[in-house]
Structure 1
Amino acid sequence: MEIALHLGVHETDNDHLVRCLMRNRAVLGKQGIAIPGPARYRQQLRQLSFAMRGRDTTAETQEMLLDGILDDDDVRRVVFSSDSFLSLPKWAVSHGRLYHAAAERVSLLRNLFPDARIELFLAIRNPASFLPAMVKADKTGSILTQITDSDPGALRWSSLLARLSEAVPDAPITVWSYEDTPLIWPEVLRVVSGHAPENEMAGWLAWYWDLVTPKGHAALRRWFETNPPPDDHARRKMLSVLLERFAKPEELEQDALLPGWTVETVDRLSALYDDDLDLIGSMPGVTLLEP
């Protein structure tokens, strides 16, 4: 049994991945890949993982848990997705770290499936846009307070990934940059679900609706319906051309600055992020998906 844990992070996916995979359940099910609805496991896995903290689990524990979530018996791989597996949004930045409790949270989830191969998947995002996006989505003001109390220049995704690797050393990690997602979205769907390379996920272009104009979205659909790309490289090349032509102007604008930030702050954080991506690309046990 393989368990794919898609961990978000916040403000990088908004359930696009799980919705697309659920739309393709029939095709994926024939390959032994189960995509349960989030309502069937998100709260349950969170509560049970804490309830089983410090307690041994067995293959029987795992089987009973999966029997309560899955409808089919002939399953080789299950995809669970939640951007709050690592933490609730208000704790995404705290104690001077990104997702300071993530290692414990993932370790607790791993404990629920002792007889399975666990794989971790997550997108990361430039702190220069990730932090403003988190603040914008928060209605309480608590995230801004947490960020204000931290040094944004000290926040490193590589640190988070190192802590995850240490907590669950047998779980390979696949990570991609949110900024690269438009070019590699179908590849993200494939690597998380584990579906056959020749299968194209129906509805994969829905991800681009907020990114391009309605005219542009129609152009994307027409192009890929009449010109199926022979490989990932060809798809990325055409996506790059179409997105450059049809992207909404507001999507190309600089994100709002947080209080106390300047353009120089954004430039500094972006440079640090680029350096962090270089480091992540060399980390053992971590695969960085790139265009």
Structure 2
Amino acid sequence: MGQQKAEQKDDMEIAVHIGASCTDDERLIKSLLKNADSFAQQGVIVPQPNRYRRLLRETMHNLQGQVPAEETRDILIDAILEDQEGHRVVLSNPDFICVPNRIFEGGEFYSLASAKAQTLRDLFPRDQVSLYIGIRNPATFLPEALKASKAETLDDFMRGARLDQVRWSDVIERLLDNAPGIPVTVWCNEDTPFIWAQLIREVSGVDPMTRITGGFDLLQTIMSREGMHRFLAYIKSHPPQTEAKKRKVIATFLERFALEDQIVEDIEIEGWTDDMVEHITAAYEDDLELIAQMPGVKFIQP
């Protein structure tokens, strides 16, 4: 009986932000770290990335698809937590699935997601693992990912994959299939200014009423200084009672004070026409509807 209780105490919630590439720019982990001290009071540990990114990457690579040794899990947890104690640990790596150059490994969109999900499940077999992924309209994602890769042309980058095969729902389905029982939380990169504070709470798992430091960090990158000043003054004098009301206020201020050069993305792919971009965007919107209905998925949206 005593041994059973000790094992249960060791079990943890492990939240892993796995990307995707070109959606985050490390903003999420920076915001999480800003709140690390207050989160720790709720038993939520946000370790520095240098304590786990290389460690996890090398451990998963060395396994080569093999089942890890029984003690591997405890070694990893000890190294990640060091002397901190809590019931939940939050890890983040925008390139967890793969670096941009390997997004179309084997001619399939994020083909490496399957193996990564399965290995992660095997590394933490008795813990409550949850995955978090931000996705992005392929019309803007592909140009940015191409820039971040070593490829010279889009054809080289996609390695034979077709544009109509770039579906995030396929990636998420592979995550779910290869890590059964592990829930996946999804959001759109385009929505992050509206949902940033909620997103930090979701990933960290803290109480929904927890005050978030830097909850408007992303908003200030797309709103003028004057707009942010007025927005913060309004929020202070008229505190919104719900997330929905707060998002409505944000939308109202963005209508007047948005920085156009920050919210309108230039798409520079040779041969792409406006019609092609509209077609890709429409397919993405259809894909979002499919993702929102997938069992095992929590889809965060404004």
Q: One fold, TM greater than 0.5?
A: yes
Moved more, 205-214 or 14-23: 205-214
> Contact 1:190–1:196 at 8 Å: present in 2 too?
yes
Offset of residue 191 of structure 1: 0.8
Provide the TM-score with structure 1 as the length reference: 0.93
Q: May I ask how many residue pairs the two structures share in their alignment?
A: 290
What is residue 201 of structure 1 aligned with on the other side? 212
Give the whole-Å Cα distance in 2 for the aligned partners of 1:91 and 1:143.
13
What secondary structure, in the 3-state scheme, does the structure 2 residue paired with 1:100 have? coil
Q: Does 1:129 align with 2:144?
A: no
CA distance in 2 between counterparts of 1:24 and 1:92 reads 31
Runs of 4+ in 1 over 4 A off after TM superposition: none
Residue 172 of structure 1 corresponds to: 183
The Cα shift of 1:217 comes to 2.8
Structure 2: segments with no counterpart, 5+ residues: 1-11
Q: Check 1:262–1:62 CA distance in 2 against 1; reply closer, same or farther (3 A cut).
A: same
Kept after mapping to 2: 8 A contact 1:96/1:155: no
Is residue 283 of structure 1 aligned with residue 282 of structure 2? no
Distance 2:89 2:154 in 1: 32
Cα distance between partner residues in 2 of 1:225 and 1:70: 37
Q: RMSD in angstroms over aligned alpha carbons?
A: 1.9
User: What is aligned with 1:54?
Assistant: 66
Q: Is 1:19 equivalent to 2:30 in the alignment? A: yes
Deviation at 1:236, TM superposition (A): 1.0
Q: 1:96 to 1:267 in 2, by over 3 A?
A: farther
Equivalent residue number for residue 36 of structure 1:
47
Cross-structure match for 1:3: 14
Say if 1:119 and 1:173, in contact at 8 Å, map to a contact too.
Answer: yes
Residue 286 of structure 1 and its aligned partner are, at CA, apart by 1.1
Q: Tell me by how many angstroms 1:140 deviates.
A: 5.4
- Tell me which residue corresponds to 1:218: 229
Secondary structure of the residue aligned to 2:81 is coil
1:287 CA drift (Å): 1.4
Q: Which residue of the other structure, out of 58, 77, 80, is the alignment partner of 1:66?
A: 77
Which 5+ residue runs of structure 1 have no aligned equivalent? none
Q: Cα offset for 1:135? A: 2.4
Superposed, which structure 2 residues align to 1:71-90 within 5 Å?
71-90=82-101
Identity of counterpart residues, as a percentage?
35
